[in-house]
Amino acid sequence: MQEIITHGSEPGPDHSVSRSTSGLTHETEQRQTTRAVIALEDGTIFEGRAFGATEALADAGRRGEVVFTTAMTGYQEVCTDPSYRGQMVVMTFPLIGNYGIASSADESRRPWLSVLIVREYCEEYSNWLGTESLAAFLRRHHIPAISEIDTRALTRHLRDHGTQRAVAVLVAEDAELDTAALLAAARAVKTVTELDVVDEVSVSAVREIAPTAMTGATARRVVLIDTGYKENIARCLTDRGLGVTLVPHDISLDALLALEPDGVLLSNGPGDPETVTNLIALTRHLMARRLPLMGICLGHQIIGLAAGASTSRLLFGHHGSNHPVIDLRTGEVTITTQNHNFQVDEASIPPASGFFVSHRNISDGTVEGLAHRDLPIFSVQYHPEAAPGPRDNRQLFDQFAELIRGHQSERHAGSTDPSSSSEE
């Protein structure tokens, strides 16, 4: 039996405003009496207090892999990022909930994470756009959360030992932990490679999103393939005069081409890229047709796989909004938002594919971008739309729009040139 290491919620400095406890809300009272336990697959156990949809931690509780994000703000965007589907997310910034929830900050139709894990939950929020507390938002969407966890210790543990499968459950205040049962439950949790998480988050029907700005008489059309896209990706496209057609991840080539796209964008999303075999095959067909193509995060990995490269899992992934990346062509360094567990293996990129590494992570040297020497194709591992995070990389959407306009001009010139031939 592996040794069980238990981490309790040791109190830190009290920075809260002193106030009478006679006016405690139901949520506060519940948190003070609801004990929650997180058990990792290596036998490490953390204890805290449940809030949000606490009933979801009853009985068998919630399961998932545990990852940490270094974002200091943007907990709502983190919760509604489909790339976190089925994962327990640790917020490394200690105070969470202080500005509440604003409907305009949702990045998807619902929160996708399994459990939100924080050091200190602030129930009383202050924000002129705020409409409800984080706890109320999570309850409404049946998502549990756990506070008073030593998130610093948990983050260091994940950094040293890698992403861990885990189970989170409610435990009676005076109950002794059944560590053997918790360990067995954690080790039975499926990894993201074993789950069809992309199908869970993708839209099931085609949807049109009109451009918010017009840059010509006719708006160019971008087909956005949804493997878990964030709303701000579509917003960054429409703000540049591009019409967006959102389509399911399993769309056929014929159905996609019937939409007559001027360009295609492969979105971010959860899971192991090698499991999305239908999209890898579709991407190869799109490459052969020389369509302008952009990939973000999971979409970047899909492009890498379609080009003949391989992918592998990182020890603890990249999650946060402070990751430095260098453009190897210009030497420019930007701060990026990231949320991924897998990477494209640089050594596996076939030289004959025409692809080269365009961006690199300064912290660990991993591939952060691919570009093609001849085709109008590029991809980035990070999130140029941010949300949350810095806006350093929004110009990539301008580059994509220019690729589309340039490709359209070339296509038009080729169709009107008397010397051009329609024969292959």
Q: Per the residue annotation, which of 157, 319, 359, 383 is the catalytic one?
A: 383
Give the list of residues 6+ apart from residue 354 with CB closer than 8 angstroms, or none: 307, 372, 373, 374, 375
385 catalytic? Reply is yes
Give the span between the Cα atoms of 386 and 383, in whole angstroms: 5
Average pLDDT, consecutive stretches of 10 residues, N- to C-terminus, the chain (424 residues): 50 34 44 82 97 95 97 97 96 97 95 97 95 97 97 98 97 92 97 93 95 71 97 96 96 97 97 97 97 98 98 97 97 97 98 98 98 98 96 96 83 49 33
pTM of the model: 0.89
pLDDT score for 10: 45
Q: For the chain, where do the domains classified as CATH 3.40.50.880 start and end?
A: 198-413
Q: Per the residue annotation, which of 41, 65, 385, 407 is the catalytic one?
A: 385
DSSP codes, 326-377: EETTT--EEEEEEEEEEEE-GGGS-GGG-EEEEEEETTT--EEEEEESSSSE
pLDDT score for 217: 54
- pLDDT tens per residue, range 29-68: 455 458 999 999 999 999 999 999 999 999 999 999 999 9
Q: Per the residue annotation, which of 297, 318, 323, 359 is the catalytic one?
A: 297
- pLDDT tens per residue, range 321-370: 999 999 999 999 999 999 999 999 999 999 999 999 999 999 999 999 99
41 catalytic? Reply is no
CA atoms within 13 A on the CB side of 84: 32
Domain boundaries 198-413, corresponding CATH code: 3.40.50.880
297 catalytic? Reply is yes
Domain boundaries 5-11+30-190, corresponding CATH code: 3.50.30.20
